[in-house]
Structure 1
Amino acid sequence: MKQNSEVPPAPVRVAPGAQIDETAVLGPGTAVWELAQIREKAVLGEDCVVGRGSYVGPGVHIGDRVKIQNHALVYEPAELGDGVFVGPAVVLTNDHNPRSVDPEGQLKRGGDWQPVGVTVAEGASLGARSVCVAPVRVGRWAMVAAGAVVTRDVPDFALVAGVPARPIGWVGRAGERLRELPGPAGIWECPRTGVLHAEKDGVLTEVPPPPAPRPAA
């Protein structure tokens, strides 16, 4: 009998007690655990994990294969790229000047302020209980240490830590800290993968691998 070569999409899994707005979009294979809340018009890609008690705000855009761990708070209008890791109890803020009341003492409403979002680029990781103060951008494959408070943009591949967060090194795609090689300055290597990176003027880029040798004629 002829087999169908097309693989059906993985189902979306939503645990009892999770709250998913009917206008939210969840990609195939995404799992949402107990007490998580996903608000209206949020969009999540394929194979995401939204942990217990976490929050995804209205209109937030999340890529594929993103992990949002327990009790993380992703406030609108945040944008998360593919492969982002959001650790437990991380907070992505959205208000420059938070107040409960206006100067006249009246309770502020949704239209009384303009939310601003945090952007987390492809592959970046936010350690447990870190805080990103909008509108910062965390670069590709960067890593924010646990408990850090990010108030400035984080370059690609940068490792930042502290309050406020400051650069303390570089990491590769594997998440391990890079080591600087002897010889020409600014060449860094991932100890796990062996991939080389070049640093220039505070910017780190991956060095393309050499072309494969051509077969003998």
Structure 2
Amino acid sequence: MTRIHASADVDPSAEVGEGTLVWHLAQLREGVRVGTDCVIGRGAYLGPGVVVGDRCKIQNHALVYEPAVVADGAFIGPAVVFTNDLNPRAVTPAGRLKGADDWECVGVTVGEGASIGARAVCVAPVHVGAWAMVAAGSVVTRDVPAYALVVGVPARQIGWVDRSGQRVAERPADTTQA
């Protein structure tokens, strides 16, 4: 059964899959698609057109800006931020307030089963590979390979993880998914 808390702001054009829970004060903007059996935490924000696969968890106060795509089974931790602007400015060089036509959105993509730890920032455009793990507080400025474990500011790879998130000595063999 899909449950959307009364305080959540879900645009009428957003699609929320069967069995998904949308908690207090979450905002799902126009054209958002959320798959089945997901959890969208308190105060989470999903920008226009964001796509979230099945069985994902997007924790409290995560900010997922368009045009992000999150694959099945991914975990987006509390207060994670996905950016979407290569050259963020409030105004044009002429001093006019920028509008939607004054910039091009770039997105973050997250592969199947990947995990992004609490308060991490993913600076678009980046791709976090399938089953990769981004440590809490990291700042991802370049693509993360499938099954990689990355930490720090900027994030750097320090090892490999398996599908359960446990550190392993070598890259798992089933890395055909990115």
Is the TM-score greater than 0.5?
yes
Task: Compute the displacement of 1:110 (Å).
Answer: 1.2
SS in 2 for 1:53: coil
For the aligned residues, what is the CA RMSD? 1.1
SS in 2 for 1:205: coil
Structure 1: gaps of 5 or more residues: 1-10, 181-187, 189-198, 208-217
| One-letter code aligned to 2:112 | E
Runs of 4+ with deviation above 3 angstroms? none
Q: What are the residue-to-residue correspondences of 1:14-33 with 2, within 5 Å? A: 14-33=4-23
TM-score (norm 1): 0.79
TM-score (norm 2): 0.96
SS in 1 for 2:159: strand
Percent identity for Structure 1 against Structure 2: 63
| One-letter code aligned to 1:109 | G
Task: Compute the displacement of 1:206 (Å).
Answer: 2.8
Q: What are the residue-to-residue correspondences of 1:51-200 with 2, within 5 Å? A: 51-178=41-168, 180=169, 188=170, 199=171
* In structure 2, C-alpha distance between the alignment counterparts of 1:60 and 1:54, rounded to whole Å: 13
For residue 2 of structure 2, what is the aligned residue in structure 1?
A: 12
SS in 1 for 2:85: coil
SS in 2 for 1:206: coil
Task: Compute the displacement of 1:174 (Å).
Answer: 0.5
SS in 1 for 2:67: coil
| One-letter code aligned to 1:206 | D
Task: Compute the displacement of 1:36 (Å).
Answer: 0.3
| One-letter code aligned to 1:42 | V
SS in 2 for 1:82: coil
Count of residues in correspondence between the two structures: 175
The superposition leaves residues 10-61 of structure 1 with CA deviations (integer Å, 9 ceiling, x where unpaired) of: x210112100000000000000000000000110100010000010011111
For residue 174 of structure 2, what is the aligned residue in structure 1?
A: 206
